[in-house]
Amino acid sequence: MTDIAANLAEVLDGIDEACARAGRPEGSVKLVAVSKTKPAADVRAAYEAGQRIFGENYAQEFVGKAEALKDLDGIEWHFIGSLQRNKVRQVVPHAGLIQTIDSERLLREVVKRAGRAGRQIDVLVEVNVGREEQKAGVLPEQAGDLVGKVAEAEGVRCRGLMVLPPFELDPEEARPWFAGLRTLREKLGGEEILPELSMGMSADYPVAIEEGATMVRVGTAIFGWR
């Protein structure tokens, strides 16, 4: 059996240690517990151990768990998967943050649905730093344009940038990708305009924190293998 509370404590320690190494204040990194493919009971166990932010990749599963766990006060759901426009309507009412805005068409749909739901919604712009054909995200040189479009739009607020870099066996090899997202943020106006950098997963979140992540998305290290 996976000991979710013990795993969670270990990841939180890992986050604190990485903050200390990087000379960053404790509490400057938010943990998004990625619960995709795991049952709602696992999310509940993590919540009971103190975790509040959860990330999901698939619209149907996202909505199902958010509804099943409505009784959990202060729980926050982030959508971190690739979002189809025809799923935006379902996702918007439950999303505290949509991390994967990567086109103007998707943005327009989120704006429309946020308007109809009568709410403001926070988003991140996903950047394809590795320029991988099979991956979602805007190319780095297009990110500024999309960030600008979000800034002009009603009902959405751009909180920062998100990256899912090319897979590397050695977490050190991921460092330049994370640094690249931070550099891009500087180019686009810095942390006043884009406070959040969502980067780092189970295998490489300490490196991502050393490179400036404000949000790490950790699944396997908390909930076990999928």
State in Å, rounded, how far the first CA of the chain is from the last one. Answer: 13
- The site string for ligand PLP over 160-179 (x = CB under 6 A, - otherwise) reads ----x---------------
Tell me which residue has its CB nearest to ligand PLP: 219
Size of the site for ligand PLP (CB under 6 A): 13
Give whichever of 18 and 201 is closer to ligand PLP, judged by the CB atom: 201
Q: How many CB atoms lie within 10 A of CB 223?
A: 24
* 57 scored as a contact of ligand PLP (CB under 6 A): yes
* Beta carbon of residue 48, minimum distance to ligand PLP (angstroms, whole number): 21
* 28 scored as a contact of ligand PLP (CB under 6 A): no
* Beta carbon of residue 154, minimum distance to ligand PLP (angstroms, whole number): 27
Q: HEC profile for the chain?
A: CCCHHHHHHHHHHHHHHHHHHCCCCCCCCEEEEECCCCCHHHHHHHHHCCCCEEEECCHHHHHHHHHHCCCCCCCEEEECCCCCHHHHHHHHHHEEEEEEECCHHHHHHHHHHHHHHCCCEEEEEEECCCCCCCCCCECHHHHHHHHHHHHHCCCEEEEEEEECCCCCCCHHHHHHHHHHHHHHHHHCCCCCCCCEEECCCCCCHHHHHHCCCCEEEECHHHHCCC
* Beta carbon of residue 171, minimum distance to ligand PLP (angstroms, whole number): 11
Q: How many CB atoms lie within 10 A of CB 189?
A: 13
Q: How many CB atoms lie within 10 A of CB 57?
A: 18
* 220 scored as a contact of ligand PLP (CB under 6 A): yes
Only one of the segments 23-31, 68-76, 186-194, 201-209 lies at the binding site for ligand PLP (rule: CB under 6 A); that segment is 201-209
Instruction: Among 14, 130, 206, 219, indicate the residue that binds ligand PLP (CB under 6 A).
Output: 219
Instruction: Among 12, 22, 36, 191, indicate the residue that binds ligand PLP (CB under 6 A).
Output: 36
- The site string for ligand PLP over 71-100 (x = CB under 6 A, - otherwise) reads ---------x--------------------
Only one of the segments 4-12, 66-74, 152-160, 199-207 lies at the binding site for ligand PLP (rule: CB under 6 A); that segment is 199-207
Give whichever of 16 and 61 is closer to ligand PLP, judged by the CB atom: 61
Which residue ranges make up the site for ligand PLP (CB under 6 A)? 34, 36, 57, 80, 164, 201-203, 217-221
